[in-house]
Amino acid sequence: MARRKKIYEGKAKILYEGPEPGTIVQYFKDDATAFNAQKKDVIEGKGVLNNRLSEFFMTGLGSIGVPTHFLKRLNMREQLVRACEIIPLEIIVRNYAAGTMSKRLGLEEGTALPRPIVEYCLKDDKLGDPLVSEEHIAAFGWASQHDMDDIVALALRVNDFMSGLMYGVGIKLVDFKIEVGRVYDGDFQRLIVADEISPDSCRLWDIETGQKLDKDVFRQDLGSLSDAYTEVAKRLGVMPKQATHISKPTLIN
């Protein structure tokens, strides 16, 4: 088989040219990084779990009419996605204070916010993904005002969907990050949710116990990251077949 052309390798994923023009194969690695890659490890099975979970969230979003890049899952670690022009912003939605917002504003982790708050960071590892305002985004031309209206609407729909889904399995969606890409249908440009949605890019806390079930487990050395992600996958009914309980053999008549 011909070797596929690698388009890009990031911290947690590799992108390859897809089989059809306008498609990309997204490969989920087991690598975990935090603090702008100052902390690194390989967590066996993380890529498989994130591939499944991202498929689950993106498919669910698609079914309620939120456009995403997801086309289909190809295997345990790969999914086929629609190629798009990634807007160079991390779009963060917060329901409760945590992480950098807690530090920046001196808010206790877990403080409920008066309403969901949308923030933007410039995607630039060298600069440590700095927080930017809509003024910066417009002035430097990273996105237009019209794009920003669409981005906020998309982000809030993702928030409502993900919050409800998580609430149903006893998990609080504290915050999350998405990326958005442009696609062109003829002369029309549309924005779609791209990259991934997984416990790598969300903060997820058990509603009863407050236990963290996301990448903070790795960032803060709180235990097994794969156990945390497996717990999320189990509660949502998303588990790779080989990792689920193996039932006894049954006789086929």
Minimum Å distance from CB 4 to ligand 5GP? 24
Residue with tokens 């440590």: 128
Task: Give the helix/strand (H/E) hosting 179.
Answer: strand 171-185
Contact segment (CB under 6 A) with ligand 5GP among 80-88, 136-144, 175-183, 220-228 equals 175-183
Kindly tell me which residue out of 57, 120, 176, 229 binds ligand 5GP, with binding defined by CB under 6 A. Answer: 176
Contact segment (CB under 6 A) with ligand 5GP among 57-65, 92-100, 133-141, 154-162 equals 92-100
**Are the beta carbons of 191 and 150 closer than 8 angstroms?**
yes
Minimum Å distance from CB 9 to ligand 5GP? 15
Contacts of 151-154 spanning 24+ positions with Cβ under 8 A: 151/87, 151/89, 151/91, 151/180, 151/191, 152/118, 154/66, 154/178, 154/180, 154/191, 154/193
How far out from the chain centre does Cα 218 lie? 16
DSSP-based three-state secondary structure for 250: coil
Is residue 69 at the binding interface for ligand 5GP, with CB under 6 A as the rule? no
Is residue 200 at the binding interface for ligand 5GP, with CB under 6 A as the rule? yes
Is residue 175 at the binding interface for ligand 5GP, with CB under 6 A as the rule? yes
What residues contact 133, with CB distance under 8 A and at least 6 apart? 120
**Are the beta carbons of 198 and 204 closer than 8 angstroms?**
no
Q: What is the largest CA-CA distance in the chain?
A: 71
Residue 86's DSSP bridge partners are: 181
Contact segment (CB under 6 A) with ligand 5GP among 63-71, 161-169, 201-209, 227-235 equals 201-209
Hey, what are 46's tokens? Answer: 């993380």
Kindly tell me which residue out of 100, 113, 165, 243 binds ligand 5GP, with binding defined by CB under 6 A. Answer: 100
Is residue 172 at the binding interface for ligand 5GP, with CB under 6 A as the rule? no
Minimum Å distance from CB 204 to ligand 5GP? 9
Is residue 29 at the binding interface for ligand 5GP, with CB under 6 A as the rule? no
Contact segment (CB under 6 A) with ligand 5GP among 51-59, 66-74, 98-106, 228-236 equals 98-106
Positions in the binding site for ligand 5GP (CB under 6 A) = 90, 92, 98-101, 129, 175-177, 200-203, 215
